[in-house]
Amino acid sequence: MRKLSLTLLLAGGLCLAGPLWAQQVCPGFSIVMNTPEDELTLAYNGAENPQEQIAALDKFVQEQPDSKFMPCAHEYYTMAYMKLSNYDKVIEYGEKGLAEHQDVMLMMNVTKAYVAGGKVSDTALETVLKAAEQIKTESTPSRPTTVGDEEWQKILEEAAVQAKDWRAYMEYAFFQFLQREPDGNKRAQWLDRFVQAYPESPNTAQINFNYFLAYKLANNPAKLDEYGEKAVAADPDNVGTLNLVADDYVNRQANLDKAETYVKKALDLAPAMKKPEGMTDEQFKTVQDSQLGFAHLTLASIAFQRGIKTKKVGPAIQEFKTAIDLLNANPELQGRALYFLGYAYEAGTPVSHKGAIEALTRAVSLATSWQAQAQDLLAKVKKAVGQ
């Protein structure tokens, strides 16, 4: 019997951590020389391109359907199709492989395919959760009797670095997948399991923020308040978090004072936001303007709610106008601001039908969730003035 050779691992691009410790394909599987499995590994390793690798795998699967090496064949398929960016095939063969055996390389390939393909499934999320224990297993190597103390220490250090990288990617993938899950209750359940699987995750702020988003989708006000506050506490200078938590308070008319505190802090912090690596100045300016516009929209909503009973909505109108000018890159929020600006012109003293018609006409021109409401209110205003 022989293990997969180091030559094969290196030639296949599978040595991920360095010369002393490397991730293996199908760890634990052995190959007998001069067998179909041996021929497959040699053909796969000697292939000049992924298409040839796939052809060798197809031939093996057809001729050896009952081979105990089939889980490895499926794993090889994922590697070949990954090179071709054929993510559907990576997922297809990867899920077959995961049903037969578990190893980190296979889990990584399946997870990467789901991320790159913009998809999500229970299998994808389960893979991330199960990977935590598998990473621990594969990054805890057994010490060979021939390895000295210094070399062994290097092996352990390399294994620890690789494990950290694996976990970091799996956590990144988890939050990508979570955003694609439309059911808020399911999101919260997945988060509960994630916290159990990755108890030492450094992403506390992200976890709390995603709980907040999950409970917002699930329409759970009690949990919303709890995790909104936790999200702010974990990342108090995050402009996006401050804006979203403040906006939620205002929409639910739950705590206008706290919302005002958060949104004013967001306005103070937004001009000093740091540009992410790889983003152009123009793109960053758009992001900043969107956050500033969102903050002014929230301030406008607070002023509107406070002034509507007395019809003193002048401060709200000014804030709505400021928000509209800043939200050109965010039609959904801009449409909302235009709708409520039109509403404010009609509800305030003195009434401005002209201002309302102009704002609502712009709101109707935008393909947003506010379009129908704006159209309805616009029709009523025009009827009131005899148009």
Supply the pTM of this predicted model. Answer: 0.86
Average pLDDT over residues 14-26: 53
pLDDT in tens, 250-285: 999 989 999 999 999 999 999 999 999 999 999 999
Q: Domain ranges in the chain?
A: 2-179, 269-384
Average pLDDT, the chain: 91
pLDDT of residue 12 exceeding 60: no
Cα–Cα distance for residue pair 380/149, rounded to 1 Å: 83
Q: Which residues pair with 3 in a beta bridge?
A: 30
pLDDT of residue 21 exceeding 90: no
Cα–Cα distance for residue pair 130/175, rounded to 1 Å: 15
pLDDT in tens, 340-372: 999 999 999 999 999 999 999 999 999 999 999
Share of the chain above pLDDT 90, in %: 84
Q: How large is the C-alpha radius of gyration of the chain?
A: 28
Q: What are phi and psi of 31, to 5 degrees?
A: -125, 130
pLDDT in tens, 66-86: 999 999 999 999 999 999 999
Say what the pLDDT of residue 9 is. Answer: 34
Average pLDDT over residues 17-33: 67
pLDDT of residue 1 exceeding 70: no
The CATH number assigned to the domain with range 2-179 reads: 1.25.40
Query: Domain 269-384 maps to which CATH number in 1.10.4160, 1.25.40, 1.10.10, 3.40.50?
Result: 1.25.40
Q: Is 269-384 the same fold as 2-179?
A: yes
